Structure 1
Amino acid sequence: MTLPPQSQAALPTDLADVRRKLEQLAAAGQIPQLIELVLGLLVQLRDKNTALSARLASALRELYGRKSQKVSTEQLMLLFAELGAETPQGATGPAPSSEPGAEATQPEQGLVPQPPEPPKPLRDRRGRAPLPAHLPRETRVVSVPEAERKCPQCGADKKCIGHRTSEVLEFVPAQFRVIEEQREKLACPRCPEQGVTTADSEKVMDRGRPGPGLLASIVVEKFEDAMPLYRQAQQYARFGVSLSPSTLGEWSAFALDVLAPVAKRIQERVLGTRYVRADDTGMRVLDRDHPAGVKRGHIWAFVGAELVTFVYAPDWQSKHPAALLQGFTGYLQGDGYAGYAAMLRGGDDGERVVPEERRLGCGMHIRARFEKAAKGGDARAAVALSYFKAIYRIEAACKAEALSAEARLARRQELSLPVVDELYQWIHELHLRLVPNTPLYIATQYAINQEAAWRRCFTDGRFEIDNGEVERQLRRVALGRKNYLFAGSDEGAKRLAVGYTIFGSCRMHGANPLAWATDVIGKLQAGWPRERLDELLPDAWARASLAAPAAGDADAS
């Protein structure tokens, strides 16, 4: 049936051309070619619609959804129900025996034994948690009003028989304090020609007035609490002290320059280890030479030796991390950044800094793409997520049991690797049937590209199976980026890296950042020997601060 002329005229130009082509094929009796053409057009429309739907779902999830990659068992069951398939055996493992001390049965073919999820501790709902014992306490006696102190029956005075005690948690605002430094001057009354001897100043900043505690507070609030300097100036104004953001900026830069040797030593410690984890994130930096007035720099994070170091790079070229890693000979763990393969040692014709056999993959980056596909509506991604859930359950059990590197390697070989094998068997089979450029296709392609590097993580119990610690460290950078928006210059971005290095390392060891910075700034400005710099690093400082109260208690006893 032909359409009326007005309907044909209403068609867009591209569809009108398609219609003419179809009519020509039909008139020539080329029905198979006509069918193939129509099917080809439908496939293109379907793929485009799928891609657009996935992008829309991803954008909505970024705006309104939660950012965690954790997927509950209930969510997986819903996805499997939508898929119309049963949970893969190797992805869940057998149910634990209800009899205590029961022997574990030998795994059947296709069934990988998994440790049960550790039970979550029950919350004590009998009352409030006690207030910390280290807080200073004062006693306030509240008396009964005078009108109620006599017995209403006989009129005699009531006697105190005790007190009903309750606690009030109060907050005493921080305060500024002015310390007037009076330096002693000595002179000989008999020998005036010898001149005057004056005590050296104990100020940490020659031409400035801040003490070490104030300098420490400024940098801690910026790097730990992500508070921009102009907000700090507003906060100080509420205490009656007027300090401009530019003054705070000068003091912050001075404090970071004082602490820079500590950050440099942390970097040497991190890059001197045999196992380093790395990743980067963007940072907007003001640049007068850039057409937009602002460029995109990068903050690199490296974790090793239980410390973290941050390094600023003005762009994303691999030459910047390559220059930092020239002397590195260990294993580097990261994502699929192509620059790792381009990093050369000693010039353009040198060997690779990190050859393929010393690169480790990241399970979190692989899992994230399947999680994105699942939240985009592709239920098949639930299969991969169930395998990842089983693998991470094994890792959690290893950490809960505090296994040694050798024991964790044995556990992985026994339990984890069979699950990894099943996962990749499923990925390779599915990948051939997927439509290119869909979220699940992108996930399987990335997983295949990273297979060798990720499998390498399971060959040594000292290696983690993901880059989680680096990701957690970079969250602090992202939080600050949302608050102070950009760095004022490349030099300012380098100082940001110093701040994130020292306080990120403090966080890893539970060191109080304010107490650490106050102590270390004072010691460095008082002439602390550089050969004893390791004593000021957060790990050693935290151990010393824990040992000091214990020694004091022993002396008191």
Structure 2
Amino acid sequence: MLPPDSDPVVVELFARMQQQVAAQEKELNYSRLKIQLLEEKLRAMRISKYGKASETLSDLQLELLDLEPGVSGEEIQVESERDPLSPSSESSDKSVDDSEKQQQKRKHPGRQTLPAHLARVEEIIACAPDQCLCGGCGEETSVIGYEESEVLDLKPAAYFVRVVKREKRACKRCEEQGVVVAAVAERILDKCLVSDQVIIDTVVAKYCDSLPLYRQSAILKRDTGLEISRSTMTGWVMHVGELLLPVVGRMKNELLAGSYIQADETPVGVQTHDKRGKNHQAYLWQYGTPGGSVVFDFRMGREREGPRLFLEMYQGLLQTDGYAAYDRVGGPKMVHACCLAHARRKFIDAVKLDAHDIASARIVRLMDELFAIDAKARAEKMDHAQRDLLRKEKAPALLAELRANLLAMQKSVLPKSAAGRAANYMLSLWNKLVLFLQYPELELSTNLAENSMRPVAIGRKNWIHLGSKEAGPKVAAIFSIVESCRRLGLPIREYLAATLPGLANRSIQSVRHLTPAAYAQTKAQ
């Protein structure tokens, strides 16, 4: 500071220099944030280029990979298992002692036990003849026990031809009475060359195991010598999907009559046979209740029209990610909640891009404490009322600290940085993210809905696309049944075998007894 009696010219010059220093500090701070943003973008591009295994790599390790003309997935995996490189230790190797200490810390997971519900088939291995004689007296020894071990085994699929003989009867004395023939058993597809079990196995292999039909056709020819075209198999699958449409319609009505739905969507390619030769990007929208049934809805686009039509007059809780298409849908009493896991994931991405981002790491830790509340409730098998009391006891203080950290971060980072986007996302949805304090049944995340999308995501990498937009609703119906059976713990083959034969001849009123939920309830009685 200048003394009070300083020359006015000096005072003015000093003030001008202070303004310049402040401006330069502001510009320097902006430049630092800009460099950080560019480094985040570069790291995000490298992680996208080298895959998930590269997320743990340091910037120096990623830079070294960039210098290689061609890098394999194995090389990236090996590099990810090394210690991160630092400028001071870039060329140094770990000592033998450090390596031995790390190996000692790793505990062996132990031998895995085989499931108790699997049938046990014993195989007794007898001793060799020379082992059956005593080495001392030469007398034959006695069996005193067995050394036991268990291994998982299988019987390869055995194809066979079932010859169906329907009994014909007639009276030798009354020829005018004619001939009677035993009734035909109900089948999924009448006069089909293959049995119901082969059709069911085809559907399960495609939509549970993501095995495309052209591979199934090749396997069938290899194992049986029978050549069945992919188009024929497609006909089987589409017929099953069409049969299941009324069942899924009933499931939809039951879902919309409930009080809680989680929703998500995922893209799927559709052949449209246009001149450009490109697939159209359609979407499968998934709606389900935690622990209950799931309904997939096929739409040719991702616009609000999809959830608006499906949830037309729904009056309960709807929980989704932050996608704007879910806004302003449903009935007037519908409550829209959002997913904390999606918000948390954005801060995890920020930490991946900048390991020194302490503020983002702190927010992740606070959110982990929120999820720990529900984890404790699950571990102690609390009902919704008990979990609600635990939430109201511990969550408000965490949420207050979390919001304060978000507001502070919003002022200190660039809006377009990973941390800035994460903070803006969470604060813009804050009221929808904290609704779990008002509604005891509401989960903190929509992870269950996302898990339901995995079969679709894995499947489209194998069977690539749907053949037409007309196939979309049928495929959605199959996915609805497959995922509902998985959630309810129903064997999918057993359910389809019990439901599909004769389904086309059932009345629409009887369909309510054929949903996976109804079938599971019947089995439990």
Q: Same fold (TM over 0.5)?
A: yes
Which residue of structure 2 lines up, in the alignment, with residue 555 of structure 1? none
Q: Could you tell me how far 1:258 is from its partner in structure 2?
A: 2.3
1:295 matches 2:280: yes
Which residue of structure 2 lines up, in the alignment, with residue 219 of structure 1? 203
Which residue of structure 1 lines up, in the alignment, with residue 345 of structure 2? 368
Task: Determine if contact 1:278/1:470 at 8 Å carries over to the other structure.
Answer: yes
In the alignment, the residues of structure 1 paired with residue 162 and residue 123 of structure 2 have an alpha-carbon distance, to the nearest angstrom, of 31
In the alignment, the residues of structure 2 paired with residue 530 and residue 68 of structure 1 have an alpha-carbon distance, to the nearest angstrom, of 52
Q: 1:140 to 1:442 in 2, by over 3 A?
A: closer
Give identity over the alignment, percent.
Answer: 24
Which residue of structure 2 lines up, in the alignment, with residue 275 of structure 1? 260
Aligned residues: 453
1:422 is aligned, of 394, 401, 405, to: 401
Q: 1:133 to 1:67 in 2, by over 3 A?
A: farther
1:196 matches 2:175: no
**What does 1:52-451 align with in structure 2 at a 5 Å threshold?**
52-62=38-48, 63-65=50-52, 125=110, 129-130=113-114, 132-137=116-121, 139-151=122-134, 156=139, 158-166=140-148, 167-202=150-185, 203-240=187-224, 241-289=226-274, 291-304=276-289, 306-343=292-329, 353=330, 358-377=335-354, 378-451=357-430
Q: Could you tell me how far 1:129 is from its partner in structure 2?
A: 2.0
Which residue of structure 1 lines up, in the alignment, with residue 496 of structure 2? 517
Which residue of structure 2 lines up, in the alignment, with residue 465 of structure 1? 444
Q: Could you tell me how far 1:448 is from its partner in structure 2?
A: 1.1
In the alignment, the residues of structure 2 paired with residue 494 and residue 186 of structure 1 have an alpha-carbon distance, to the nearest angstrom, of 45
Q: What RMSD in Å do the two structures reach over aligned CA positions? A: 3.2
Q: 1:128 to 1:162 in 2, by over 3 A?
A: farther
Corresponding letter in the other structure for 2:274:
D
Q: Could you tell me how far 1:266 is from its partner in structure 2?
A: 1.9
SS at 1:522 equivalent: coil
Corresponding letter in the other structure for 2:418:
P
TM-score (norm 1): 0.73
Unaligned runs of 5+ in 2: 1-15, 57-106
Corresponding letter in the other structure for 1:463:
L
In the alignment, the residues of structure 1 paired with residue 492 and residue 118 of structure 2 have an alpha-carbon distance, to the nearest angstrom, of 18
Q: 1:141 to 1:446 in 2, by over 3 A?
A: closer
Corresponding letter in the other structure for 2:339:
C
Q: Could you tell me how far 1:35 is from its partner in structure 2?
A: 9.1
Q: Could you tell me how far 1:52 is from its partner in structure 2?
A: 3.4
Q: 1:291 to 1:51 in 2, by over 3 A?
A: farther
2:432 is aligned, of 453, 457, 465, to: 453
In the alignment, the residues of structure 1 paired with residue 322 and residue 188 of structure 2 have an alpha-carbon distance, to the nearest angstrom, of 45
Q: Deviations over 1:313-346 (max 9, x none)?
A: 1001111221111131112111122122344xxx
In the alignment, the residues of structure 1 paired with residue 162 and residue 138 of structure 2 have an alpha-carbon distance, to the nearest angstrom, of 57
Task: Determine if contact 1:404/1:461 at 8 Å carries over to the other structure.
Answer: no
In the alignment, the residues of structure 1 paired with residue 134 and residue 388 of structure 2 have an alpha-carbon distance, to the nearest angstrom, of 77
Task: Determine if contact 2:485/2:491 at 8 Å carries over to the other structure.
Answer: yes
Unaligned runs of 5+ in 1: 1-29, 70-121, 344-352, 548-557
In the alignment, the residues of structure 1 paired with residue 273 and residue 128 of structure 2 have an alpha-carbon distance, to the nearest angstrom, of 71
Moved more, 457-466 or 260-269: 260-269
Q: 1:37 to 1:388 in 2, by over 3 A?
A: closer
Q: 1:529 to 1:39 in 2, by over 3 A?
A: same
1:539 is aligned, of 511, 517, 521, to: 517
TM-score (norm 2): 0.77
In the alignment, the residues of structure 1 paired with residue 188 and residue 523 of structure 2 have an alpha-carbon distance, to the nearest angstrom, of 23
SS at 2:358 equivalent: coil
Task: Determine if contact 2:315/2:334 at 8 Å carries over to the other structure.
Answer: no
Corresponding letter in the other structure for 2:321:
D
Q: Deviations over 1:343-386 (max 9, x none)?
A: 4xxxxxxxxx3569711111011111111111110332012101
Q: Could you tell me how far 1:290 is from its partner in structure 2?
A: 6.8
Q: Deviations over 1:431-466 (max 9, x none)?
A: 123212111111111111100111112211111121
SS at 2:434 equivalent: helix
Moved more, 309-318 or 142-151: 142-151
SS at 1:432 equivalent: helix
Task: Determine if contact 2:314/2:334 at 8 Å carries over to the other structure.
Answer: no
In the alignment, the residues of structure 2 paired with residue 468 and residue 304 of structure 1 have an alpha-carbon distance, to the nearest angstrom, of 12
Q: Could you tell me how far 1:468 is from its partner in structure 2?
A: 1.3
Q: 1:429 to 1:399 in 2, by over 3 A?
A: same
Corresponding letter in the other structure for 1:161:
V
Task: Determine if contact 1:299/1:313 at 8 Å carries over to the other structure.
Answer: yes
In the alignment, the residues of structure 2 paired with residue 142 and residue 218 of structure 1 have an alpha-carbon distance, to the nearest angstrom, of 39
In the alignment, the residues of structure 2 paired with residue 433 and residue 474 of structure 1 have an alpha-carbon distance, to the nearest angstrom, of 37
Moved more, 401-410 or 536-545: 536-545
Task: Determine if contact 1:262/1:536 at 8 Å carries over to the other structure.
Answer: yes
Q: Deviations over 1:388-430 (max 9, x none)?
A: 0110001111122222222222211111122112111221232
Q: 1:199 to 1:327 in 2, by over 3 A?
A: farther
In the alignment, the residues of structure 1 paired with residue 27 and residue 402 of structure 2 have an alpha-carbon distance, to the nearest angstrom, of 34
Q: Could you tell me how far 1:479 is from its partner in structure 2?
A: 1.1
Q: Deviations over 1:30-60 (max 9, x none)?
A: 9999999988987786565443322232233
Task: Determine if contact 1:408/1:461 at 8 Å carries over to the other structure.
Answer: yes
Task: Determine if contact 2:316/2:334 at 8 Å carries over to the other structure.
Answer: no
Which residue of structure 2 lines up, in the alignment, with residue 15 of structure 1? none
Task: Determine if contact 2:37/2:417 at 8 Å carries over to the other structure.
Answer: yes
